[in-house]
């Protein structure tokens, strides 16, 4: 049993790494795809909305399917759909083609995200020790590997299509490995597909939304703020993203241990306070080095929050893990989809400092309400899983 559980744990870590790799590879190729499709920045921005829109619309169905058929089956299936979508993205020659391909990719990617988190939570319960934060650290590592593979592909002279076809074949092989090694896990009852989430789940969803908006604001706008608002160089702008990613990966690697020491609610509250101070440092001191450190603190503070929120979502009594995770992930993703145009609009009207100041307010609210939101999560185990023997 211990040996089989260890294999299943390695499998879900592998799933997170593969998921991060394809995101890192795709994100690194956005400039080339923009040029290939002949889009300007505005058209690209609207085309990119296809991915989060597909994720938001698919996540609820993914949570239901994970409970009904098993997260160990749906995860590799969605990985195969992602493998199909990547060459479609690479071949896009117009706005509609790119938006459509990204919608398919986003739907599959978001579904895989829900299902592999549900599987990770099942392994966490079976092993009696927290692993969710380390799983999300594995995603960060995979994203870094994906970006590196793009650098290698560029040096080798590979086209976007060539790189994505190779990646798609590797993902198909990975799906074959996962379907044989992931922990068999599903739930006896998932209830209605669409129903109003209970209040306690809405509170957890608010925590996820705050974390993802803050993380996204730092990732999307730190380079722009440093280069265009405080006179930093392009190298300093790039360094801010690197430092942000590094601090998030580091905290996520230690996040499970920190949660055991501090408790989930206190860790979220303290982290939100650190992030708020970091964002204030960046926008008030307004010097490139201070901004780099400040945005790094933003990432450090919120790094463990989203995994904690997903764990809480999947631990609600009477709600299947996949359904709870899907509900909270959908709320968070909806916020991520709405935040960039909102921040951009406020920045255009009042300046980027004011727009990022709104994120500080959001983080302060999170710091003061996390205890109620996460602390309200019952310690009880959710509805029992259907007994399924480990392979």
In the predicted model, residues of the chain with pLDDT beneath 70 are 1-3, 41-42, 186-198, 238, 376-391
Half-sphere exposure (Cβ direction) of 195: Cα atoms closer than 13 Å: 13
Q: Among 135, 101, 112, 111, which residue's Cα sits nearest to residue 26? A: 101
Task: Match 């979502």 to its residue by tokens.
Answer: 313
**In the chain, where the domains are located:** 2-181, 199-375
Q: What is the CATH number of domain 199-375?
A: 1.20.1250.20
Per-residue pLDDT at 74: 94
Q: Is 385 helix (H, G, I), strand (E, B) or coil?
A: strand
Per-residue pLDDT at 221: 79
**Tens-place pLDDT, residues 177-218:** 999 999 887 654 445 555 566 677 888 989 999 998 898 888
Residue 250, Cβ density class (10 Å: 0-12 exposed, 13-18 middle, ≥19 buried): middle
Is residue 147 within 8 A of residue 25, CB to CB? The reply is yes
Per-residue pLDDT at 186: 62
Per-residue pLDDT at 357: 94
Whether domain 2-181 has CATH 1.10.10.10: the reply is no
Per-residue pLDDT at 46: 81
CA dihedral of 317, 321, 326, 331, whole degrees rounded to 10: 40
Predicted structure pTM score: 0.76
Is residue 131 within 8 A of residue 9, CB to CB? The reply is yes
């Amino acid at each position: 049993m211990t040996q089989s559980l260890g294999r299943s744990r390695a499998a879900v870590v592998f799933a997170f790494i593969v998921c991060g790799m394809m995101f890192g590879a795709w994100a690194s190729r956005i400039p080339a795809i923009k040029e290939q499709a002949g889009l300007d920045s505005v058209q690209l921005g609207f085309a990119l909305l296809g991915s989060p829109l597909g994720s938001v619309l698919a996540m609820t169905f993914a949570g239901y399917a994970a409970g009904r058929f098993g997260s160990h089956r749906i995860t590799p299936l969605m990985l195969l759909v992602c493998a199909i979508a990547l060459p479609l993205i690479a071949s896009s020659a117009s706005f509609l083609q790119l938006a459509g391909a990204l919608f398919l990719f986003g739907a599959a990617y978001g579904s895989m995200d829900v299902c592999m988190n549900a599987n990770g939570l099942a392994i966490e319960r079976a092993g009696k020790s927290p692993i969710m934060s380390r799983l999300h650290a594995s995603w960060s590592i995979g994203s870094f590997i994906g970006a590196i593979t793009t650098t290698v592909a560029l040096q080798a002279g590979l086209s976007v299509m060539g790189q994505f076809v190779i990646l798609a074949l590797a993902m198909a092989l990975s799906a074959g490995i996962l379907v044989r090694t992931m922990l068999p896990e599903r739930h006896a009852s998932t209830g209605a597909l669409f129903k109003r989430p209970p209040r306690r789940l809405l509170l957890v969803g608010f925590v996820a939304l705050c974390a993802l908006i803050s993380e996204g604001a730092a990732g999307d706008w730190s380079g722009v703020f440093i280069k265009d608002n405080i006179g930093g160089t392009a190298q300093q702008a790039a360094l801010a993203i690197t430092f942000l990613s590094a601090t998030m990966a580091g905290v996520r690697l230690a996040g499970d241990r920190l949660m055991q020491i501090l408790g989930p609610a206190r860790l979220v509250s303290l982290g939100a306070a650190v992030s708020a101070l970091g964002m204030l440092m960046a926008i008030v001191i307004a010097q490139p080095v201070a901004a780099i450190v400040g945005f790094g603190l933003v990432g450090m503070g919120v790094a463990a929050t989203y995994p904690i929120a997903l764990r809480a979502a999947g631990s609600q009594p009477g709600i299947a893990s996949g359904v709870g995770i899907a509900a909270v992930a959908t709320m968070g993703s909806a916020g991520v989809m709405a935040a960039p145009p909102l921040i951009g609009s406020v920045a255009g009207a009042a300046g980027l400092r004011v727009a990022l100041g709104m994120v500080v307010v959001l983080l302060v609210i999170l710091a003061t309400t996390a205890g109620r939101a996460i602390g309200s999560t019952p310690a009880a185990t959710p509805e029992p899983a259907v007994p399924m023997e480990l392979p």
